[in-house]
Amino acid sequence: MSKKPRLFHLLAQAKQNLFRSADRLFTDELKVSGTQVVALFAIKEHPDCQLKELAQVLQLQNSAITGLVGRMEDNGLVQKAPSSTDGRASLLNISPQGAAVIAAAQPLLQSINAQLVQGFSTEEMATIARFLDHAKQLDFQRPAD
């Protein structure tokens, strides 16, 4: 009998390695963390977004997003403007420097994606993509007694 792969464990290890490796690459090449690169792409897709919207997209807590956006603003990557409809809220947009980081990140992301699919057939990649899409939609429940 063959041993079943421990998928949750493998996914956790893969996520840890992928994020650590990508973060190192982005930091070395762009002087910007991987989280900041991901946030820039999210803001590009959602211009004039509020911090709470960015937190939802990135699946981060409000306190974490406040610190992240503060560092990005300090680094000149984003611009905050007051909301015209909510005096307590700020709207986020990419600065010219943030746009330059996105442009510089594109070839790095293409290389990352090429490395991820290396050695896998188109059919295998379709199965992997379907599995990952399934996994990202799961909301684990407690097992029935």
**What does 58-69 look like in DSSP terms, one character per residue?**
HT--HHHHHHHH
Give residue 126's Cα distance to chain centre: 21
Give phi and psi for 86, each to the nearest 5. Answer: -140, 105
- Which residue shows structure tokens 């700020």? 90
Question: What DSSP designation does 48 have?
Answer: T
The residues near 71 (Cβ < 8 Å, ≥ 6 apart) are: 36
The full set of domains in the chain, from first to last, is 8-137 (1.10.10.10)
What is the pLDDT at residue 9? 94
Distance (Å, rounded) from C-alpha 111 to C-alpha 71?
27
The predicted structure's pLDDT at residue 86 = 77
Percent of the chain that is helix, strand, coil (3-state, to 5): 65, 10, 25
Determine which helix (DSSP H) or strand (DSSP E) holds 80, and give its type and residue range. Answer: strand 78-82
Mean pLDDT by 10 residues, the chain (145 residues): 84 95 97 96 95 92 92 96 83 96 97 96 97 94 87
